[in-house]
Chain A
Amino acid sequence: MKVAYYPGCATHGLSKDVDIATKKVAELLGLELVEVEDWNCCGGGFLDEYDERAHVALNLRNLSKVEKMGLKKMATPCSVCLNSHRLATAKFSEDKEIRKEVTQRLQSASLQYNGTVDAEHIVWVLVRDVGVERIKSMVKRPLTNLKVGAYYGCQMLRPEQIMGFEPAYNPHSLEDLISATGATPVRFPMSTSCCGFPLMGSNPKGGLKLAYNVLSSARSAGADLVVHPCSLCHLQMDVTQFKVMEEFKTGWTMPTIYVTQLLAIAFGISPKELGLSRIALKALEERGIT
């Protein structure tokens, strides 16, 4: 199966390890990810507050490229990129004034969007199109002794009427994937709460508190580590987790890895090869996973 792949800026930047694991897992599963040609930033979840029409136009440029590539789906590993593209297509189809102006802007850039492609989360493609059974069949190292917190965050789920893959208050995709690896999924009270990343751009203290709430909730529920589905959650809870821990003087850490990183480990790839964080490497080593 062949789908267009939109990594997004963070996945090609500080969250590069999300990209590494996603590509490795896709390759092993026979899922061909074709990177969108000359893709641009989705606006990072912020551009629409600066210029709503520019946000829609930029996102439709990426989707128009996918149409030109002759593909039907654009999969992204980042929930914010997903949310951004899907909000853009929803606005484009529902708001005739936005549609009119965005169409003009697209035309001025010699672009055309026909509405045949929308963004999907890589998790949706894995669960629905590749299938949990196929994923299970690839597991070489069942993670049977691992209790894994399933953290969905926000933008892959909400608003449900636009994301649409699973009920925002009863999601199961990450638990399905965690179970496929042999690990035990742990649902914790803050499983679908915000990691605080979008608040870091204006009120960092508030943002860190939200991250702390999620990590400590997973810890209280007995998770050994947490998996998440977003390259920006990754920045907040993996890359700079020490910042959160220092702010709240926790004395503990909670390894937080991207969902395809967990799959890759179960498929037999070493955590070091995946370029995981030190926090995650240490926690996995302690459980004999190297």
Chain B
Amino acid sequence: MEAQTLATNLEQREITVRVKRFNEDKGEFWSEYKLSVDRFTQITEVLRRIKTEQDPTLAYRASCHMAVCGSCSMKINGEPRLACKTLALDVVKKFNTDVITLEPMDYFKPLKDLIVDMGDFYTRMFKVKPRLYPAEEVVKGVAEQRLKPEDQRELWKFAQCIWCGLCVSACPAVKEDERFLGPAAHAKGYRFLADPRDTLYEERLKILLDSSWRCTYCYQCFHVCPRDVEPVTTIKKTRAHTKFSKEKTDVMSTGERHVKAIYESIKETGILQEAKVYISTYGLATAITDMLHTMRNGKMKYALIREKKVNEIEQIRKLLGD
């Protein structure tokens, strides 16, 4: 019986693998391969077998095969993933198809087949000074480097980045805004910004704050990160440091006004009063212009609705920690 179960579990299934390829001579083209996989076959193993058994010209990166080195990032049926952390039959099940499509990550320049130029990613990471700058006494060896358990708990999750680039490849704000550092750099930056052993707080604020207000909270980075780093959470936490910055750029000031107006509105009424928040954030002139757009589209009637406030407002204030 046991042997039978094992045999069922190791059942082979034939899949078709379509690979989007690229080289400088031929440009973009697609290759198709067929092979049998079982429930243990990772996509990196699929690629290794294609390369060794069918097509030695196929180029891809892979090293550790255990989601640590961050080399094998690619799009698998359109989804940015680590090939080693993806089982072929899981993809078959999730997408309900025997065809697995492999493409290089978006955003980065393709070099050959599934290999992309990661230079842009490293530039972003180095902009945030991705290492600890300890106090002079610690460097001289006259003081100890101490980290409280509660501080370590705050930093641990955000320090697990393996520089795979998946979050940057999936980020819509990176593609549109060159002043946005991108999710991975923010996770790394916050990990040191919030580290009590680090001495570059002011400088890190200057590097991170303006950029943090350029994220669009689409949760792509949270979704695609193979190490559950949650870069978007670090961006939210970084924004909370804006109040400690003396210099504020436009996006910082607007963003700060906006979130403060939301907080005040909830504290006062329990709900988000759109018109009030809007005017506090953008000022009356912009609010009037937008009102005209709303009117032109026949939606002004909804702006005049009197919103129902929360009755038990004292409860709300207690929940806000007042």
A residues with CB within 8 A of B: 9-10, 12-17, 38-41, 43-54, 57-58, 61, 83, 97, 105-106, 108-111, 154-155, 157-161, 167-170, 193-194, 196, 198-199, 201-204, 206-207, 209-210, 213, 238-243, 246, 275-279, 281
Complex Cα distance, B276 from A44, in Å, reads 14
Q: Are B321 and A53 in contact, with the CB atoms below 8 A?
A: yes
Q: Are A154 and B255 in contact, with the CB atoms below 8 A?
A: no
What are 20 residue pairs bridging A and B, where the CB atoms are less than 8 Å apart in the complex?
A: A16-B302, A39-B310, A40-B271, A43-B262, A45-B217, A49-B236, A50-B260, A97-B150, A154-B218, A157-B223, A170-B95, A194-B220, A196-B216, A199-B173, A204-B282, A206-B177, A210-B176, A240-B294, A277-B297, A278-B297
Closest to B258 in A: A201
Chain A residues near B303: list those with CB within 8 A: 13-14
Chain A residues near B319: list those with CB within 8 A: 54, 57-58, 61, 105-106, 109, 111
Q: Are A202 and B172 in contact, with the CB atoms below 8 A?
A: no
* CB 8 Å contact bits of B205-221 with A (1 = contact, 0 = none): 00000000111111110
Is B320 close to A, CB under 8 A? yes
> Top 4 A-B pairs ranked by shortest CB distance?
A202-B255, A201-B258, A194-B218, A158-B219
Q: Are B176 and A206 in contact, with the CB atoms below 8 A?
A: yes
- Most chain A beta carbons < 10 A, residue from B79, B216, B223, B289: B216
Is B199 close to A, CB under 8 A? no
* B 293-318 contacts with A by CB, 8 A: 293-294, 296-299, 301-303, 305, 307-308, 310-312, 314-316, 318
Complex Cα distance, B281 from A49, in Å, reads 16
Is B222 close to A, CB under 8 A? yes
B residues with CB within 8 A of A: 77-79, 94-95, 150, 153, 172-173, 176-177, 213-220, 222-223, 236-237, 239-240, 251-252, 254-255, 258-260, 262-263, 265-266, 270-274, 281-282, 289-290, 293-294, 296-299, 301-303, 305, 307-308, 310-312, 314-316, 318-321
Other 10 A-B pairs with CB < 8 A, given A16-B305, A206-B173, A242-B297: A17-B299, A41-B272, A45-B217, A49-B236, A50-B240, A105-B321, A109-B314, A206-B176, A238-B297, A239-B297
Q: Are B308 and A12 in contact, with the CB atoms below 8 A?
A: yes
A108 smallest CB distance to B (angstroms)? 5
Chain A residues near B78: list those with CB within 8 A: 169-170
Complex Cα distance, B312 from A10, in Å, reads 20
Q: Are B222 and A158 in contact, with the CB atoms below 8 A?
A: yes
Complex Cα distance, B49 from A271, in Å, reads 57
Complex Cα distance, B251 from A277, in Å, reads 30
- Most chain A beta carbons < 10 A, residue from B94, B270, B312, B319: B319
Chain A residues near B216: list those with CB within 8 A: 194, 196, 198-199, 206-207, 210
Complex Cα distance, B30 from A254, in Å, reads 34
Contact with B223, one of A9, A159, A193 (Cβ below 8 angstroms): A159
Complex Cα distance, B251 from A38, in Å, reads 34
A90 smallest CB distance to B (angstroms)? 11
Known A-B contacts A12-B307, A201-B255; the reply to A51 vs B260 at CB < 8 A is no
A271 smallest CB distance to B (angstroms)? 11
Q: Are B320 and A51 in contact, with the CB atoms below 8 A?
A: yes
Q: Are A9 and B318 in contact, with the CB atoms below 8 A?
A: no
Q: Are A49 and B299 in contact, with the CB atoms below 8 A?
A: no
Contact with B258, one of A10, A17, A202, A239 (Cβ below 8 angstroms): A202
Q: Are B263 and A170 in contact, with the CB atoms below 8 A?
A: no
Q: Are B293 and A159 in contact, with the CB atoms below 8 A?
A: no
Complex Cα distance, B177 from A43, in Å, reads 26
Q: Are A203 and B251 in contact, with the CB atoms below 8 A?
A: yes
Closest to B238 in A: A49
A270 smallest CB distance to B (angstroms)? 14
Closest to A190 in B: B172
Complex Cα distance, B215 from A167, in Å, reads 23
Known A-B contacts A17-B302, A51-B321; the reply to A154 vs B316 at CB < 8 A is no
Chain A residues near B294: list those with CB within 8 A: 14, 239-240
Chain A residues near B266: list those with CB within 8 A: 40-41, 43, 47, 58
Chain B residues near A170: list those with CB within 8 A: 77-79, 94-95
Q: Are B176 and A169 in contact, with the CB atoms below 8 A?
A: no
A44 smallest CB distance to B (angstroms)? 5
Q: Are A154 and B220 in contact, with the CB atoms below 8 A?
A: yes
A103 smallest CB distance to B (angstroms)? 12
Q: Are B219 and A155 in contact, with the CB atoms below 8 A?
A: yes
Chain A residues near B220: list those with CB within 8 A: 154, 158, 194
